Amino acid sequence: MTELSEKPVTSGKKILYIDMDGTLVDFQTAFPHVDPALLEKHAEHKDDIPGIFAHMQPMPGAIEAVHELAPLFDIYVLSTAPWANPTAWHDKVEWIQKHFGAEKDGPLYKRVILSHHKHLNRGDFLVDDRPHHNGVDRFHEHGGEVIHFGEGGSHQTWPEVVEYLKERA
């Protein structure tokens, strides 16, 4: 047992969190696979459509970026799942397993955190497309840096993010 004042044992790498929806996953790619009646029923909250997260494709360059950054960082997916859509929790883990493998040697094996309070996680970097939601705007309180990803962000593509992070590994 460790003393409370001792630091946890780590790999020595910096900790990198990556959001899923709009960052690793292209949310919009699911809509062609959804029954139009469900789209209409959930027009205000499309993320509440049961099973929607199973249909999403990766953002361009996201898979390659994770594989390139994995040797340099301790990477975790830090995502929020809709409270009113319990299938989303399951579908997000399955998505990670489908695209990164379910085996122990996969870069994201048992590295998925689903939370509505992202600021409670401590780490060095958080790549997220929504810098003012679910505590992302408070991630810096513990010394972390938010990398605003995508349209309107400081880094709009995965190659830009990789270049930026490799310089800071």
Catalytic residues: 19, 21
Rounded Cα distance between 51 and 70, Å, is 29
Rounded Cα distance between 106 and 102, Å, is 7
- Contacts for 118 with CB less than 8 Å, ≥ 6 apart: 17, 78, 80, 126, 128, 134, 135, 136, 139
Please say whether the beta carbons of 148 and 140 come within 8 A: no
Rounded Cα distance between 37 and 155, Å, is 36
Q: Is 39 helix (H, G, I), strand (E, B) or coil?
A: helix
Closest CA to 160 of 72, 57, 76, 68: 68
